[in-house]
Amino acid sequence: MDLSFSAKEQAFRAEVRGFLADKLPPELAQTVRDGRGLSKDTYERWHALLNEQGWLAPNWPKEFGGCEWNAVQRHIFEDECCRAHAPRIVPFGLSMLAPVLQKFGSKQQQDHYLPRILSSQDWWCQGYSEPGAGSDLASLKTKAVRDGDTYVVNGQKTWTTLGQYANWIFCLVRTDPTVKQQAGISFLLIDMDTPGVEVRPIILLDGTHEVNEVWFTDVRVPVENLVGEENKGWTYAKYLLTHERTNIAGVGFSQAGLAAVKRLARSQMHRGRPLIENPHFAARVARAEIDLMAMSTTNLRIISGAAKGQAPGVESSMLKVKGTQIRQEINDLARRAAGVYAMPFASEAVEGSNESPIGPEGTTHVAAQYFNNRKLSIFGGSNEIQRNIIAKVKLGGGA
Amino acid sequence: MNFDLTDERQMLQDSLRRFLTDRYTTQVRNDILNSDTGYSAEIWTQLAELGIIGALFTEDQGGYGGAGFDIAVVFEELGRAGVVEPFLDSAVLGGGLIAALGTEAQKTLLEQVIDGSLLLAFAHGEPASRYDLSHVQTTAKMQDGSIVLSGRKAVVVNAEAAGFLIVSAREDGAVMDQDGISLFLVPADTPGLSLRGYPLLAGGRAAEVELDNVSLRASSRLGVAGQAYPVITERAAAASVALAAETLGAMETATVLTRDYLQTRQQFGRPIGSFQALQHRMADLLIELEQARSAVINAAGHLEGEPYQRELHIAAARNLVARTGRLVSEETIQLHGGIAMTQEYELAHIAKRITMADHRFGDADYHLEQFIDLSTT
């Protein structure tokens, strides 16, 4: 047992920290720190800065222009990015689609799409969930019917995150309705400028527009946009989901969130003393921090195993459940700390609003974030589905 | 022992529930939430005509209720329908303070409060006061026979619509002293009074209120100089009964919506309510809901009692209901899944009402401390 990072890893951390101090624009970090939504331009600006450094694709193999970092390096990079309040790397192209194309895509698809992801020429979104297919994803109904050199796609996807910014969508579609659900699904790349594609906004309970419905009406998609083999899409989808689950614990987000709670609780007064000194509030913060310290090590145990080539199993499901519980608890602490100033609704909770905030610093978006982050335990495989996976493996003798 | 509502209160509950079921639909409420005023003047007037504001005042005050159980009955229904109109601020707080402290001349305003034509707001909390009721920095000074108010009030709910603000200010003592606080009736158009209004996350509007040498006639004071604190705590207790009952009603709606959804939403070829893991969580919510109902009954039943018992039961109810409220709002969203994350779905608003009630007149921790202070002395 040795809990410390190696000298090489520490040097790597210093290099990342130096880069962020140099290149991350302060106004951008402030926007992230304030919890405001980011515009497409801001994401692309940050992607460009990372791409210039060659760090936009930490998980890609070098042959495709990635860093090929191991799990520990990726963790250090994500950790430092959170600490510095860097925007997140938009995952849809870089960490969801790209690994699928690299493993299952044709040479032409790799040569065409991967460079366009790195250059931000394309913004991808994910066409998985449907109104009737959430936790039960394999029951999806959007169908693609072969007609000569094209598929004709009809159906509806939902919860499409940042679909309003996207020009491409990767979709799971049903190509064979006659077989077992999982055996009739294909993985299709669709240009969103194709006639018949319509994006409709979904406004979330905090007033934000970050997800969408995407409707397909007789959308004609060239057959060369099929990834891998027809009806093998479920295999690719599962492969993609394992990549979606990297950094699933969100340790960095929780650490940044907890630091923000402490800052706020030092400035908020309760009975004439800083709130942080109040034993009831302090106990809540302490419990969250104790949980987070342990989870951080659980996370490192798994990362360390992964760096040695061990595939994570149910551990990633455990991290999803515990990680989201801790993040949501921290969001709850933040809204508590804000007191009465949690009540105002900052309608311009996105970048570019010049109006001065109503309450003290750090209170403006805490309640909206508390509600918005209820999504954490719902999306990416709900926490109930994660518990099913854990129970099946540990109790059922299954895979 | 009898836990039934009186006939009068049963009628009140029935007529209010019927009105809100018919008229306060999700669409109507969403339109109100998107409106510039943050409330519907039409619905407000209709509810006043139905006697809902009158139910919050005693006969002496011109109403026909005013007891803890009247407040609880009204607010449980308002909570059930997710009503955002300012019953708490205009009637229970504003009207209640005038009724408790006002001279005969001042009390003539109550008729307009009860018929809905005059709205009020209670400007008490300050940027640094958090939930402490005695924390008043705003000053009131006598100058040439006038009273001059200076200070700032935070998150004053319903301030923009109010014809009068009831402003607390210190005439004597240090910032946290209970003695020395007075209340003043300030007409909305008084020079030196300025508002910065904004919408609230759970509906309705509030304002930051700036008092810059606001000059008032001496007759604007409500009650005896420096002696307002006991009445403020009594009205805060009434507000707590209202908030706890509103949360109870909102939790009832949240659990009904969730029960219906569990029975209709199909995944894996069956209703998700057929999964035992979800059934048990639903059962836990229903157990906690009955706990909350009893806590609200305890608080409402002690509102007119002696202050120690009143404060003990208020603190207990607010703490318990806040804990239950968090559980219910979070769990009902989770049991629904993504649909409950959308603005237009009924539960989103209901969950926000539940959570934001924890930010008025003390959160779960504040009331826990109150309870500890009271129960260990």
Domain harbouring A322, CATH code: 1.20.140.10
Q: Which stretch of A308-322, B21-35, B193-207, B256-270 has the lowest confidence by average pLDDT? A: A308-322
User: What pLDDT score does A304 carry?
Assistant: 85
User: What pLDDT score does A399 carry?
Assistant: 44
Assign residue A127 the CATH number of its domain: 2.40.110.10
Report residue B237 CA to chain centroid gap. 10
Q: Which of B356, B359, B361, B368 to mutate to test the interface with A (most CBs of A within 10 A)?
A: B359
User: What pLDDT score does A313 carry?
Assistant: 78
Average pLDDT over residues B281-307: 97
Phi and psi based region of residue A63 (left: phi greater than 0; alpha: psi -120 to 50; beta: remaining): alpha
Whether residue A369 sits in one domain with residue A249: yes
Average pLDDT over residues A17-23: 97
Whether residue A254 sits in one domain with residue A300: yes
The larger pLDDT score, comparing residue A354 to residue B67, is at B67
Q: With cut-offs at 50, 70 and 90, classify the pLDDT of residue A306.
A: confident
Q: Which of B88, B129, B130 to mutate to test the interface with A (most CBs of A within 10 A)?
A: B130
* Residue A114 placed within a domain: no
CA distance A360 to chain B (A): 8
Closest C-alpha to A89, from A101, A110, A74? A74
Whether residue A129 sits in one domain with residue A14: no
* Residue A185 placed within a domain: yes
Going by C-beta distance under 8 Å and a sequence separation of 6 or more, which residues neighbour residue A385? Answer: A135
User: What pLDDT score does A397 carry?
Assistant: 59
User: What pLDDT score does A352 carry?
Assistant: 53
- Is A229 annotated as catalytic? no
Domain stop point among A205, A233, A261: A233
Residue A362 pLDDT > 50: yes
pLDDT digits (tens, 9 = 90+) for B340-374: 999 999 999 999 999 999 999 999 999 999 999 99
Whether residue A253 sits in one domain with residue A371: yes
Whether residue A258 sits in one domain with residue A222: no
A336 neighbourhood in chain B, CB within 8 Å = 358, 363, 365
Chain-wide mean pLDDT for chain A?
93
User: What pLDDT score does A111 carry?
Assistant: 98
Whether residue A390 sits in one domain with residue A256: yes
* Residue A11 placed within a domain: yes
A161 has a chain B CB within 8 A of its CB:
no
User: What pLDDT score does A380 carry?
Assistant: 86
Closest C-alpha to A151, from A76, A65, A224? A224
Residue B314 pLDDT > 80: yes
Average pLDDT over residues B67-88: 98
Task: Measure CA of the first residue to CA of the last residue in chain A; give whole Å.
Answer: 29
How far, in Å, CA of A379 to CA of A381, rounded?
5
* Residue A376 placed within a domain: yes
pLDDT digits (tens, 9 = 90+) for B37-58: 999 999 999 999 999 999 999 9
Closest C-alpha to B131, from A250, A338, A210? A338
* Residue A102 placed within a domain: no
Domain stop point among A233, A268, A285: A233
A136 has a chain B CB within 8 A of its CB:
yes
Chain-wide mean pLDDT for chain B?
97
Residue A244 pLDDT > 70: no
Whether residue A391 sits in one domain with residue A258: yes
Closest C-alpha to A249, from A312, A175, A189, A171? A312
Residue of A nearest to B350 (CA): A205
- B330 → closest Cβ in A338, A374, A384: A374
Of the candidates A78, A130, A230, A244, the residue annotated as catalytic is A244
What values do phi and psi take at B158, rounded to 5? 70, 15
Whether residue A285 sits in one domain with residue A353: yes
Burial label, A295 (beta-carbon count in 10 A; 0-12, 13-18, 19+): buried
Residue B199 and residue A344: Cβ atoms within 8 Å? yes
Residue A368 and residue B201: Cβ atoms within 8 Å? yes
CB contacts under 8 A, A 268-307 vs B, are 268-272, 275, 278, 280-281, 284
CB A171 within 8 A of CB A127: yes
Up-side HSE of residue A259: CA atoms within 13 Å toward CB? 12
CA distance A206 to chain B (A): 7
How far, in Å, CA of B257 to CA of B325, rounded?
15
Domain that holds residue A196: 122-233
* Residue A162 placed within a domain: yes
A345 neighbourhood in chain B, CB within 8 Å = 198-201
B351 neighbourhood in chain A, CB within 8 Å = 205, 371
Size of interface A-B (CB pairs under 8 A): 130
Whether residue A272 sits in one domain with residue A149: no
Domain stop point among A68, A89, A110: A89
User: What pLDDT score does A1 carry?
Assistant: 82
* Residue A97 placed within a domain: no
CA distance B198 to chain A (A): 7
B341 neighbourhood in chain A, CB within 8 Å = 204-205, 374-375, 378
- A134 → closest Cβ in B338, B343, B368: B338
SS3 label, residue B267? strand
Q: Are strands B120-123 and B164-170 parallel, antiparallel or unpaired?
A: parallel
Whether residue A249 sits in one domain with residue A388: yes
* Residue A95 placed within a domain: no
Q: Please list the alpha-helical segments (H only) found in chain A.
A: 7-23, 26-33, 40-53, 71-83, 91, 98-104, 107-118, 233-244, 251-267, 279-307, 314-338, 366-372, 383-395
Residue A270 and residue B132: Cβ atoms within 8 Å? yes
Going by C-beta distance under 8 Å and a sequence separation of 6 or more, which residues neighbour residue A384? Answer: A135, B277, B278
A129 has a chain B CB within 8 A of its CB:
yes
Q: How many CB atoms lie within 10 A of CB A387?
A: 15
Residue A353 pLDDT > 70: no
Residue of A nearest to B277 (CA): A384
A384 neighbourhood in chain B, CB within 8 Å = 277-278
Question: How many domains, in total, are found in chain A?
Answer: 3
CB A337 within 8 A of CB A366: yes
pLDDT digits (tens, 9 = 90+) for A98-143: 999 999 999 999 999 999 999 999 999 999 999 999 989 999 999 9
User: What pLDDT score does A396 carry?
Assistant: 82
Residue A368 and residue B344: Cβ atoms within 8 Å? no
Average pLDDT over residues A66-85: 93
Residue B91 pLDDT > 70: yes
Whether residue A271 sits in one domain with residue A205: no
How far, in Å, CA of A214 to CA of B163, rounded?
48
Residue B360 and residue A340: Cβ atoms within 8 Å? yes
Q: Which stretch of A230-244, A261-275, B178-192 has the lowest confidence by average pLDDT? A: A230-244
Query: What residue ranges define each of the domains in chain B, with the CATH number in brackets?
Result: 7-114 (1.10.540.10), 120-225 (2.40.110.10), 230-375 (1.20.140.10)
The larger pLDDT score, comparing residue A288 to residue A37, is at A288
Q: With cut-offs at 50, 70 and 90, classify the pLDDT of residue A350.
A: very low
Angle (nearest 5°) at CA B157 between B154 and B163 = 110
Closest C-alpha to A87, from A212, A249, A252? A252
Whether residue A258 sits in one domain with residue A297: yes
Average pLDDT over residues A159-167: 97
